[in-house]
Amino acid sequence: MAYIDYYKILGVDKSATQDDIKKAYRKLARKYHPDLNPGDKEAEKKFKELNEANEVLSNPENRSKYDKYGEHWKHGEEYEKAQKQQSKYQNRGGDYGEGFSGADFEGEDFSDFFQSMFGGAGGGFGRNSRGSSSGKFKGQNIQAELNLNLKDAAKTHQQIFDINGKKVRITIPAGVYDGQQIKLKGHGNEGFNGGPNGDLYITFNINPDPDFERVGDDLKTKIVIDLYTAVLGGDVKVETLEGSVNLKVKPETQNGTTVRLKGKGFPVYKKESEFGDLFVTYEVKLPTSLTDKQKELFQQLKNS
């Protein structure tokens, strides 16, 4: 089995922090994402390699095993157990018994050992006297990212993924947040030797919105009002996720004043009919290109 350098795939050093790995993966995953490279087989291959590298290096436990065992990180513990069994039986005079079928592991490197252990040309370890394999292992998990607009994340809807040539339809609940991850059991790579399939992990990336800033389940927005409305009061229209609403501006409203619209914020994840609040901040726009008469009136106000 050829050595796969996951650090090289992500373009980071072995001393990279978890945050460095996360940033490198996100940058490259966006670059090689199939949606942005339709029909590009090389980009698709690169994207799969990135997901595989991220699955290992983004998990501290998996990363530790990879640093220790290389490409055999998933089965490193089995290797150590086999080495202990080897030593045990050698101390008894070299009789390995039917569980090892006379295999000799002394002097073999990791790759040779795992070839014989998991279906390569030589070996008997992991097979009983009838020759059936007992080495069933779960398939590799797949990591994927899904970019959503804020307004899409605010409503329950379905999307279709193309994973390993299979169409996977998922329902995205309203209220998902940036960086949230969900697991689809059994939608990863096929298991080894009859083992279960891996899982599909989908991470949501919520794109910045030009109108709203999300803070938890609340939303923030700004609205420009003219000086006359700020001084005298009046009605203005405010956009919400569900459409525009009329908002009454109180007389003598100061620039930067914030008001709350209860229940007009973001839907609470998996809590039907629950919403955060919308906070509206007024920005008072001063009049320009005043006539002499208008300037005179403002001067009168100033002197009064």
Predicted pLDDT of residue 107 = 37
Structure tokens at 111: 């790759």
Predicted pLDDT of residue 190 = 85
Using 70 as the pLDDT threshold, list the residues of the chain that sit under it.
1-3, 71-72, 75-135
The domains located in the chain, with CATH, are 136-207 (2.60.260.20), 213-303 (2.60.260.20)
Q: How many residues does the chain have?
A: 304
Contacts of 190 (CB under 8 A, 6+ apart): 139, 197, 198
Q: DSSP 3-state assignment of 142? A: strand
Say which DSSP state 176 is in. Answer: -
Structure tokens at 171: 């329902």
Predicted pLDDT of residue 280 = 97
pTM of the model: 0.55
pLDDT digits (tens, 9 = 90+) for 193-202: 888 988 989 9
Predicted pLDDT of residue 85 = 58
**Counting beta carbons within 10 angstroms of the beta carbon of residue 148, is it exposed (0 to 12), middle (13 to 18) or buried (19 or more)?**
middle
Angle at CA of residue 45, ends 41 and 46, nearest 5°: 115
pLDDT digits (tens, 9 = 90+) for 242-279: 999 999 999 999 999 999 999 999 999 999 889 999 99
Distance from C-alpha of 12 to C-alpha of 96, rounded to nearest angstrom: 43
Predicted pLDDT of residue 141 = 87
Predicted pLDDT of residue 221 = 97
Predicted pLDDT of residue 236 = 96
